Amino acid sequence: MKKIITFAILFAVLIFMGLFDFLPWWSFSVPVFLLGMLLPLKKWKVSPFLWGFIAGFMAWLLSTIYFELIYDGEIMKSVANVMKVKPYLLHPAIGLIGGLLTGLGLYSGYLLRNGREILELELPKIK
């Protein structure tokens, strides 16, 4: 099982590194979806959405801070001017969007793998 997990993580990293140039910005959610299908998240006792949200929020928040430091804040100022918001409000907003997409991707993969066990509905009997 450890080999499958290692392969899944390596596959996600390779997808990000090699295909990021010509894929749309939301394409990071596809490898996350695949990880949701492959990882044994049922044993973790924490919601897969929460794990995905935290990972995505931190990755996107830290990347915006990194790019702001590298480019002296010019990119964030330009985007803030176009959107007519304060530049410091963009960091949590971008982190929130990335966290939601990552959490939903991971949870969707998890549901596809374990959906029958989770989504058993008990409908009331109609008389």
Structural domain total, the chain: 1
Is 26 domain-assigned? yes
pLDDT (0 to 100) of residue 64: 87
Tens digit of each residue's pLDDT (9 = 90 or more) over 82-92: 999 988 899 99
Residue 121 lies in a domain: no
Q: How confident is the model at residue 15 (pLDDT cuts 50, 70, 90)?
A: low
Confidence grade of residue 7 (pLDDT, cut at 50, 70, 90): low
Segment 22-38 shows an average pLDDT of: 80
Give 120's pLDDT tier (boundaries 50, 70, 90): low
Answer whether 0.75 is exceeded by the pTM.
Answer: no
Residue 44 lies in a domain: yes
Q: What range defines the domain where residue 94 resides?
A: 2-116
Task: Give the rounded distance of the alpha carbon of 41 from its chain centre.
Answer: 15
% of the chain beyond a pLDDT of 70: 70
